[in-house]
Amino acid sequence: KKGHGARLLQKPSLMRKCVDAMTSATDAPVTLKTRLGWWTKNTIPETARALRGSGVSRVVMHARTAQQSYGDEPDYNALRLAVGEFDCPVTANGNITSYESAVRVLEDTGCEGAMIGRAAITNPFVFEALRNRGDFDATREQRADFFDEYASLADSVPFVEVRAHAA
């Protein structure tokens, strides 16, 4: 809505200009998180061309367009195509909620990594499941301890907001 974020998919040259500014300003690896495309249009080829040779060390790609937001099913076939388009590793994002879904996405797409986003809000123990290469069902005590730690770290946030995450 304000000309940045996914809107940069409409302006590949501006995206490249932003990336060039970042890569020239640091020796640290620069990664880019994006989507399959703007609104309904898949812009993977244009995005890949714009970034080719830019020095971006990794592209994290959400498997939906900007219009789809978090609705609809992610298009993992498009991620498979993206792997062949970019000159850097591609990490998959979108509906990765468990160890099983991460493995399936990696196998189906050829991506070198999987990124968990919103699933970590509703299940912060998803990372334990990944470490354990399977399910992890936290005990009631573990959940309570985790929430206590979370609440102590969020001491400047109104408790009503912290409480909203308790479930």
How wide is the angle at C-alpha 78 spanned by C-alphas 114 and 113, nearest 5°? 15
CA proximity to 99, closest of 124, 63, 61, 126 = 126
How does the average pLDDT of the chain come out, rounded? 91
The pLDDT of residue 20 is 97
Higher confidence at residue 111 or residue 2?
A: 111
Which pLDDT tens digit goes with each residue over 41-62? 889 999 999 999 999 999 999 9
Which pLDDT tens digit goes with each residue over 117-133? 888 888 889 999 999 99
The pLDDT of residue 58 is 98
Mean pLDDT of 141-155: 88
CA proximity to 96, closest of 107, 83, 85, 86 = 107
Q: Report the predicted TM-score, pTM, of the whole model to 2 decimal places.
A: 0.85
- Across the chain, the runs of DSSP E, i.e. the strands, are 31-35, 58-62, 90-93, 113-115
Q: Decide if 64 contacts 70 (C-beta within 8 A).
A: yes
